[in-house]
Structure 1
Amino acid sequence: MNNTVLSKKKLIRVTTIPLSLKTLLKGQLSFMNSFYHVIGISSGGRELDEVKLYEKIEVLPVEMTRKISPVNDLVSLYRLYKVFKREDPYIVHSHTPKAGIVAMLAAKLAKVPHRLHTVAGLPLMEASGNKRKLLNLVEKITYNCATNVYPNSEGLYDFIVENKFADKTKLKVLANGSSNGINTNYFDSNLISLEQKALLAQHLNISPTDFVFIFVGRLVADKGINELIKSFNAISENYNNVKLILVGSFEEELDPLNSDTLQIINENSNILLVGFQQDVRAYFAISDCLVFPSYREGFPNVVMQAGAMGLSSIVSDINGCNEIIEDGINGIIVPVKNTEKLYDSMQRIINDSELNNILRKKSREMIVSRYDQKVIWNAILEEYKKLENLCIK
């Protein structure tokens, strides 16, 4: 290890699974490594090794589970505590719910001076009964152990305040929201050639006259997939030139879809299931409109990506989505869990090509001006720098 690295303060970024480090914070870790000695921590695996190579940072595996598992969580807590005592970081910054509770508690026990947690979506919003009470308690403990809490949307900020999870003095939304912004130089439809688009469309049996909807994300109930499939199935019965591309993977154990939904996906030939894709740009490039009827989000990258690629979007009226999308300007906002309104909006977009063109023309411009990645990164860096002027807590 050279003297330059030794002279930098240590910044540890923690997520539950390596995919979050790899995708949700892509590029940011490398950027921060110019100013701090960055260490990435998550559960181990090939993707954590890929983070090390791509971001050119040090990584450490600490196994964590996304499920509620007291024994495993205590083991993770102890292992993180040992890492923090050994590495003596100046800042520990966590993302995702499980990493948040475990890392913030371990960092407080290890007396890390600056303990930061970014809130990007809350599973408890869809929970009820004893599970909701437990998840409420987890959030309160996480925020209590943190010295600073960063909701990545105004909607999440309001939700945290309304539920009294944390004092306002700890809370701050950085820049215009988002945890990582969007690389608008990468998500640009001009980078996808006509040949690429033609080959992919041919592979998926999409004709030039088809109207193509796309969904990108986990294929789970919380993302509104049950409502989306029901709406699209009705649409495809009335229109013979519509397609729906589903980009993502199922999570049958954590959040399974209805059996009726799965049956429609398997039987409707206009629903194109392509699985998880490392690079989604070509799929956006052959599509006409993103449909993203999620129940809860922090600040959805997918909606920013689609906008940067020049797509209109139909999104649910939840925090994050209703901050990126302005109804009638760059997309359409529909009530959450409302299949009828979702169907009406999809039908409207198909029938009104002039409206869709207007929405698409504004989409990229609005993303570039508000959510370009460097804007978000510099806002986070500025926040880190401010900590250096504060007394150690």
Structure 2
Amino acid sequence: MTKLMRMTTVPVSLQSLIRGQMRYMKLQGFTVWMSSADGTMLRELEQQEGCPHYIVPMTRKLTPLQDLKALWVAYRLLRRLRPDIIHTHTPKAGLIGMLAGWLAGIPIRLHTVAGLPLMEREGVLKQVLIRIEQLTYACSTGIYPNSIALRNYVEKVLYANPQKLKVIGHGSSNGIDSRHFHRTVEMSVQGQTVRNQWNIQLKTFVWIYIGRIVRQKGVDELIQAYVRLANTCPDIRLVLVGPFESDLDPISPDSEQLLKNRGDIIITGFQADVRPYLAMADALVFPSYREGFPNVPMQAACMELPMIVTDINGCNEIVTREVNGLIVPPKDEESLYLAMKRLYEDTDLRQKFSRKSRELMVERFDQQWIWQQWLIEYKRLMVEKRLI
């Protein structure tokens, strides 16, 4: 029986980034374990996936002493459990997991690259992050960027061994559960309930953003573009669904002040189920500076929302320009404003994008198909290593 360890830095990534994969592999006959830092809802996570979870005390920041402790804990855990495969996600888990896996002699060491913080760093810090990423790749036996564009970046900028690089399917870490994200009658009713909760009228046009409320997600540009549009179009609202991370990547003081003072910008905080919020919205705007292969635009597309995204990794592989959405340059408030204005004013364009969005997602990124591709890949690697 193949033994598999899945590791992320924090437990929420296991819960959301690769939700369902561990249970799926268990049903295929694998022994599966999960690992991450401590956090809330670990019992719920174990029940969700049907697999035990082990704590490795990782942090999302550069903390050398804590990282050494985490490496030692991970090494001892892997020596005890002896998985055939360790598969990591997120930068810190990649470093700790790949290095510990190499030290412990784990034969198959896989790391999924899903967005790189170093892309938005400068100077000495960027060079440090590059070296850390290169060490992660050196200790791995396989590197899996979750988009074609990200694969090219990892090879050309980070000088990863091209023989180690592979994109599964058309990209994405986990695909999309198109049966779960579906604009049913029931979901439309829940969307109307959310509108009522926030006192949003039926004819009011709702822009929705889902994600962390941080600078690198383009929230500053989004707020400024929205305010410009609202000055001439008062029948609109902006709904921000997600948590603040003021300690890691805060938005600007000007944006914070606008959020405090404007009643037409609604902040819901983190929502475990975003479907009712997608159902209540008229369009998604996702102006991120960097991504691997983001889940939010796929979820919105399956819910038949027209979209505006930035021309970055993943986003420009989910959205086909002028087919199911608009694509704008990152960090460009003017382009974002003009795209929002155009989409708001053009009902026919919104309807065209809506009709095409779900069709493209189901065709290219169905979750069950992505999971099957990972199963095939695991079995192929096991045969190569003569472990089965």
TM-score by length of 2: 0.98
Instruction: Please show how residues 199-218 of structure 1 align to structure 2 within 5 Å.
Output: 199-218=193-212
Q: CA deviation at 1:165?
A: 3.1
CA–CA separation in structure 1 for the residues paired with 2:216 and 2:186: 31
Give, in angstroms, the shift of residue 268 of structure 1: 1.4
Q: 1:131 aligns with which of 112, 125, 136?
A: 125
| 2:15 matched residue in structure 1 | 22
SS in 2 for 1:11: strand
TM normalised by structure 1 equals: 0.97
Q: Equivalent residue for 1:271?
A: 265
Paired residues of 1:290 and 1:311 also in contact (CA < 8 A) = yes
Aligned to 2:295: 301
Contact 1:81–1:109 under 8 Å retained in 2: yes
SS at 1:192 equivalent: helix
Does the 8 Å contact 1:139/1:165 carry over to 2?
Answer: no
Match of residue 51 from structure 2: 57
1:13-35 CA distance string (max 9 Å, x none): 00000000011111111001123
Q: Distance in 2 between matches of 1:255 and 1:96?
A: 17
Shift of 1:300: 0.2
Q: Which runs of 4+ in 1 moved over 4 A?
A: none
- CA apart distance, 1:195: 3.5
Q: Which residue of 1 aligns with 2:24?
A: 31
Specify whether residues 182 and 194 from structure 1 end up closer, same or farther in structure 2 by C-alpha distance, changes over 3 A only: closer
- Relative distance call for 1:191 and 1:254 in structure 2 (3 A) is farther
Q: Report the Cα offset of residue 193 of structure 1.
A: 4.2
Q: 1:385 aligns with which of 374, 379, 387?
A: 379
2:276 is the counterpart of 1:282? yes
After superposition, the Cα gap between the structure-2 partners of 1:194 and 1:338, relative to the gap in structure 1 and judged at 3 Å, is closer
Q: What per-residue deviation string (whole Å, max 9, x for no partner) do you get for residues 60-85 of structure 1?
A: 11111000000000000000000000
Q: 1:319 to 1:193 in 2, by over 3 A?
A: closer
1:191 CA drift (Å): 5.4
> Which whole-Å CA distance do the structure 2 matches of 1:319 and 1:39 have between them?
30
Q: Does 1:97 align with 2:91?
A: yes
C-alpha distance in structure 1 between counterparts of 2:156 and 2:20, whole Å: 33
Report if the CA contact (8 A) 2:187-2:275 is conserved.
no
* 1:142 matched residue in structure 2: 136
Which residue does the alignment assign to 1:158? 152
Identity of aligned residues (%): 44
Find 2:5's aligned residue among 4, 12, 29.
12
Do 2:169 and 2:373's aligned partners in 1 also have CA atoms closer than 8 Å?
A: yes
Is contact 2:221-2:332 (8 Å) kept?
Answer: yes
> Structure 1: which 5+ residue stretches go unaligned?
1-7
- Higher mean alpha-carbon deviation, 233-242 vs 161-170, is at 161-170
Name the CA shift for 1:315/1:194 in 2 (closer, same or farther; >3 Å).
closer
Q: Report what 1:373 is aligned to.
A: 367
Question: In angstroms, what is the RMSD of aligned CA positions?
Answer: 1.1
Q: Residue type matched to 1:152 in 2?
A: N
**C-alpha deviations, 1:178-226, integer Å up to 9, x for none?**
0000100000011534432322111111111111110000000010000
Structure 1 145/39 Cα, relative in aligned 2: closer, same or farther at 3 Å? Answer: same
Output the amino acid matched with 1:91. Answer: I
The gaps in structure 2 that reach 5 residues or longer are none
- Which letter does structure 1 place at the counterpart of 2:16? T
| Whole-angstrom CA distance in 1 between matches of 2:156 and 2:193 | 50
CA–CA separation in structure 1 for the residues paired with 2:381 and 2:191: 47
Compared CA separation, residues 344 and 155, structure 1 to 2 (3 A): same
